[in-house]
Structure 1
Amino acid sequence: MEHYSQAVPMQGGQTQTGGNTGPLIIVTILFFMWGLLTSLNDVLIPHLKAVYTLTYVQAMLVQFCFFGAYFIVSLPAGMLIKKIGYQNGAVAGLTIAAAGCALFYPAATSGYTLFLIAFFVLAGGITILQVAANPYVTVLGDPQTASSRLTLTQAFNSLGTTVAPALGGMLILAGGVMSSADLAKLTTEQLSAYHATQAASVQGPYLVLAAALLALAVLFALARLPKIVDAEQADGESAGWSAVLQHRHLVLGALAIFLYVGGEVSIGSFLINFMGDPKVAGLSAADAAPFVSYYWGGAMVGRFIGFAAMRYVSPGKALAFNSAAVIVLVLTAIFSGGHVAMWAMLAVGLFNSIMFPTIFSMALNKLGPLTGQGSGVLCMAIVGGALVPFAQGLLADTISLQMSFLVPAVCYTFILYFGLKYAGMYSEK
């Protein structure tokens, strides 16, 4: 999963010249953990769908609660961190995320609603954590090498998203789920026992994750970290949201972020069910889960390719090329079958790689003192991850799962337009 967070201008007063290795390792582990936690949703959605016999729209409530937290918690998180400080904010975020993971234990015996509450609490903790921990990467060392440190932590975030589906497949999906025909033969008592057993398969893994997050909270609380101070508000930044929204490229960029996150999350959420379709690969959920790692792993590889290629190609052209490639791949997956459809959909991850940071930077171009507020607008647009999967779920329930991928295809069409419209944005240097 993308490392969804905003980059607001910061100033960090470093209290130490050496000894940054330990704190940097802790921060890097944080990036890995929230990548892993976010990507695990792609395994849990088909599992919970099968266990509770949900429609696709009902199953997408997982992403609605998870990404809805980004929208609801982002602004309060900023206020909290301003009050208690960045280090305490990171500890609070880790503790809340651990509480969210711990809630999965009672959820297994209580039903789907408590699972949804657990997802919201977990994502709320991750949101606070991102707002708090992000600036530490830039201040833990020489400012001249900050970008290389960001690349390193970003790579570990991608590593988390790549590892999670395979790990979740082994730990959560290994037991398999019964078909609807077999479920119909069970008595009420047998059905209740089956649901309890299946739901309980998430208890162990999420208790381990809760313990790991609490251990990280302790490490972060004890670490000697530089004090970070918010940059003084620049002249004109108090001009208000109306001044920000007058910048057309920011407004279009926010829509592009909304649709990109929505499209990416939608595809990831439906991948296991898509590969389980007899017309595609007919894989069981446990067999399909490791392949989701190729989707997220492709994004990790694509970042390094994009980093090299974008030294020579303008961001707008790179964005347009990648979104066009995604549209072709998604349409191939929709209108073909078998392994061609499966691998076409998995290959989308490779071209997703550069999209989020590229759209983000293009949308903030030349905003000057309004950059901070512009970042806030873009961060709130991440709510696309909560809403777009709903639209695809509705189409999957009414038409077919394969045709429902037209929803993300339409999302990437707008991103293609945005890339082409601002292809020459950085040409004047």
Structure 2
Amino acid sequence: MTTFLLIIIYLAFISLGLPDSILGAAWPVMQKDLGAPLESAGLLFMTVAGGTIISSLVSGSILKRFGTGKVTFVSCLMTALALVGFQFSPSIVWLVVCAVPLGLGAGAVDSGLNNYVAAHYKAHHMSWLHSFWGVGATMGPVIMAQFIAGDLSWRSGYLAIAGIQLALAVILLMTLPIWSKVKSGPKAKENELQESTVSGKVEASKPLQVKGVKLALFTFFFYCSIEAAMGLWGSSFLVNAKGVSPADAARWVSLYWGGITVGRFITGFITFKVSNLLLIRWGQLIALCGAVLLFMPLPTVFTLIGFMLVGLGLAPIFPCMLHETPARFGKHHSQSIMGFQMAFAYTGSTFMPPLFGFIASKTSIGFFPVFALVIAAAMLLSSERLNSLLRKKALEKEIKAV
């Protein structure tokens, strides 16, 4: 039963990734069809992201009241109906309206499933879970491209993906009784033991008052900032600053995303032998080394290697940090803290890439390596300060126990 539910969760994460990448693939056709300004895609993206941030922030109380299974079902249904709305939207205004439930549904699913897997399953499942998101994010543009290339409209592509979401919603509805039964696995028992040693006297405090939480939030913020910035501006940097052809630049950026997806799949196996903390630290160091290669005035081949290193370095960081949440802060607070973490993560990916766009417009796209290097260093610094704080906290408890 536990394995069957895990398969359902993996499918849910594929569906979570599907809508995330189709707007960019469909926008050139959508813009022409709707007669919308080019920058309208940014408005849609910000609307979806805003809904995701809001639902992530309130997900803790909602999930505690209704349970992960019910919230995941309703959220999946919301995203499916929102995608159907995209298919029928006659103007950009209606697309913005439909983008609201799309974002709200995505944030609740993301926070809820991340915390559920962190609380009930081992670390390798979290890494594989996020590699399945990459599968969905890769499939989305492929599905949309097939409909556009086949003389069908972008609307048919959205409807097809909505159909996949609706099918998953039906599966989730049928499996609702299973969610409440998966509560007593070894991972859950492990977290219960950690609860007494990690959360201690902060049991009655608010989640944001737990020591170390704010440092964790900033680590998530910086992680998603560099992940999104590399994906959005990497190609422009290679073309305009390094003289790489647009086609080659696109291939290298796709390899950057592929490195994250494949790296997370491999990380799932590495977690059998290596702790989350070590994987997070080494991933951040590798990403920092990649950013240094981008920054240094070396031949273009080293810049391309830098892109690969950043992608491979980022691969284990996000899932391992999520999986450490109950261990770091106690299971009692983990769901609420997970929601805050996802909200900060989405805030980084939403606002930092546009911030660099503004900086580049005033300076040069050649400033990108400096931006990436600063963000990577800030991520490592906040993460190491968090580790130091938690080690000091554990040592103080050991001394008091003696």
Alpha-carbon distance in 2 for matches of 1:79, 1:63: 26
Identity of aligned residues (%): 23
Checking the alignment, whether the CA contact within 8 Å between 1:104 and 1:118 is kept in structure 2 is yes
Kept in 2, the 8 Å contact 1:159–1:297? The answer is no
State whether residues 76 and 168 of structure 2, in contact with CA within 8 Å, keep that contact through their aligned partners in structure 1: yes
Is residue 105 of structure 1 aligned with residue 87 of structure 2?
A: yes
With 96-105 and 357-366 compared, the bigger mean Cα shift is at 357-366
Counterpart for residue 382 of structure 2? 418
1:391-426 superposed Cα distances (whole Å, 9 cap, x missing partner): 022123333444345433321120132355467767
**Partner secondary structure for residue 314 of structure 1:** helix
Which string of whole-angstrom CA distances, capped at 9 and with x for unpartnered residues, describes residues 99-121 of structure 1? 221232244x413x544444442
Which residue does 1:160 correspond to in 2?
136
- 1:93 Cα deviation (Å)? 0.7
Q: In the TM superposition, what is the alpha-carbon distance from 1:204 to its structure 2 partner?
A: 1.9
Following TM superposition, by how much is the alpha carbon of 1:38 offset from its aligned partner in structure 2, in angstroms?
Answer: 2.1
- 1:208-250 alpha-carbon deviations (Å, 9 max, x no partner): 1111111111121123642438999987433235632xx2x43
* Other-structure match for 2:310: 348
The alpha carbon displacement at 1:316 in A equals 5.9
Partner of 1:243: 209
Q: 1:418 and 1:402, CA in 2 relative to 1: closer, same or farther beyond 3 A?
A: same
Deviations 1:189-209 (A, max 9, x none): xxxxxxxx9xx9532211111
Matched, 1:210 2:153: no
1:310-389 superposed matches below 5 A = 311=274, 314-315=278-279, 317-331=281-295, 341=303, 344-345=306-307, 347-360=309-322, 366-368=328-330, 370-382=333-345, 383-389=347-353
Residue 233 of structure 2, aligned match among 270, 289, 296: 270
Look up the equivalent residue of 2:224 and give its one-letter code. V
- 3-state DSSP of counterpart to 2:274: coil
Which of 86, 94, 118 in structure 1 is aligned with 2:76?
A: 94
Q: How many residues are matched?
A: 372
Contact 1:262/1:384, CA 8 A, preserved across alignment: yes
Conserved 8 A contact 2:72-2:112: yes
Gaps of 5+ in 1: 1-17, 176-196
Q: Which has the higher helix share?
A: 2
Residue in structure 2 matching 1:297, options 248, 258, 264? 258
Distance 2:306 2:29 in 1: 24
Residue of structure 2 aligned with 1:128, choices 101, 108, 129: 108
Aligned partners of 1:353, 1:168: CA distance in 2, in Å? 26
Partner of 1:38 in structure 2? 20
On the 8 A contact 2:115/2:322 being kept in 1, the answer is no
Q: Distance in 1 between matches of 2:386 and 2:73?
A: 40
Decide which of 246, 249, 272 is 1:283's aligned counterpart.
Answer: 246
Q: Which moved more, 1:36-45 or 1:379-388?
A: 36-45
Whether the 8 Å CA contact 1:266–1:385 is kept in 2: the answer is yes
25, 50, 56: which is aligned to 1:68? 50
CA deviation profile, 1:362-406 (whole Å, cap 9, x unmatched): 777653455555434323312211111220221233334443454
* Alpha-carbon separation, structure 1, partners of 2:238 and 2:94: 28
Three-state SS of the structure 2 residue aligned to 1:155 is helix
Q: One-letter code of the match for 2:15?
A: M
User: Which residue matches 1:408?
Assistant: 372
Residues 316, 422 of structure 1: 8 Å contact kept = no
- Do the aligned residues in 1 keep the contact of 2:14 with 2:133 (CA within 8 Å)? yes
Decide whether aligned partners of structure 1 residues 213 and 361 sit closer, same or farther in structure 2, where only a CA change above 3 A counts. Answer: closer
2: CA distance between counterparts of 1:153 and 1:418?
Answer: 25
Whole-Å separation in 1 of the counterparts to 2:82 and 2:113: 19
Deviation at 1:344, TM superposition (A): 3.9
Query: Which amino acid in structure 1 is aligned with residue 261 of structure 2?
Result: M
The alpha-carbon distance between structure 1 residues 321 and 168, as it changes in their structure 2 partners (threshold 3 A), is: farther
The aligned amino acid for 1:282 is S
CA distance in 2, matches of 1:344, 1:47: 33
Residue 255 (structure 1) shift:
1.2
> Partner of 2:399 in structure 1?
none
Structure 1 residue identity aligned to 2:258? G
The alpha-carbon deviation at position 261 of structure 1 amounts to 0.8
Could you give the per-residue CA deviations for residues 114-146 of structure 1, whole angstroms, max 9, x where no partner exists?
44444442221112223444566579xxx6x64
The separation in 1 between residues aligned to 2:3 and 2:208, in whole angstroms, is: 43
Which residue identity is paired with 2:108? Answer: I
TM-score between both structures, scaled by the size of structure 2: 0.74
Residue 393 of structure 1 is matched in structure 2 by 357
Give the secondary structure class of the aligned counterpart of 1:281: coil
Q: Does 1:256 align with 2:209?
A: no
Cα deviations by residue, 1:310-345 (Å, 9 ceiling, x for unpaired): 72883564144123223224425xx67867645643
| Residues 34-43 or 95-104, more deviating | 34-43
Measured in 1, the distance between the counterparts of 2:146 and 2:240 equals 20
Code of the residue aligned with 1:266 in structure 2: it is A
Distance 2:117 2:207 in 1: 29
